[in-house]
Amino acid sequence: MSDETGTTAPPAEGLSDNAAGAIAYITIIPAIIFLVMAPYNTKPFVKFHAFQCLGLAATGFCLGIIGVIPILGWIVLLLGMLTLFVCWILCVVKASQGGAFKLPVIGNFAAQQSGYNI
């Protein structure tokens, strides 16, 4: 690719911050990769979304344990997973737009760990 001066522009390296932030929510695997792989582990925006994804995954795990309890646990599991799904969708959409949907408790932890100020 060359511009009007005839020089070639260097290729873009990696994903944009918005794309990396949204991809971090797919599963915990990209979130962990973004936390350990440069240059993403130096970007507070990407780290925030990766930590928040891990928090959502931990919440889902805890809901699964609660779901073992008959009847009341099943109700909590159903409502909790529905809420978790809605929060996950909101987080993905906001990350892809370059913003952040800060979840209660999880979002505070993620912001503290990543250094991202909302």
Q: Specify which residues 8 forms β-bridges with.
A: 2
The amino acid present at 41, given as its one-letter code, is N
Task: Kindly state whether residue 12 falls inside one of the protein's structural domains.
Answer: no
| Reported confidence tier of residue 12, pLDDT bands at 50, 70, 90 | low
Rounded to 5 degrees, what angle do the CA atoms 110, 114, 116 make? Answer: 90
Let me know if residue 84 belongs to a domain.
yes
What b/e string do you get for 64-103 counting C-beta neighbours within 10 Å, with b at 16 or more? eeebeeeeebeeebeebeeebeebbeebbebbeeeebbbb
Asked whether residue 2 is domain-assigned, the answer is no
Residue 23 inside a domain? The answer is yes
Structure tokens at 67: 């779901």
Collapsing DSSP to helix, strand or coil, 45 comes out as helix
Containing domain of residue 91, as a range?
17-114
Q: Does 63 fall in a domain?
A: yes
How much is the pTM?
0.85
Q: Would 4 be classed as within a structural domain? A: no
Q: Is 83 or 15 the better-scoring residue by pLDDT?
A: 83
Residue 51 lies in a domain: yes
Q: How many domains does the chain have?
A: 1
Tens of pLDDT, residue by residue over 57-95, are 999 999 999 999 999 999 999 999 999 999 999 999 999
The answer to whether residue 29 sits within a structural domain is yes
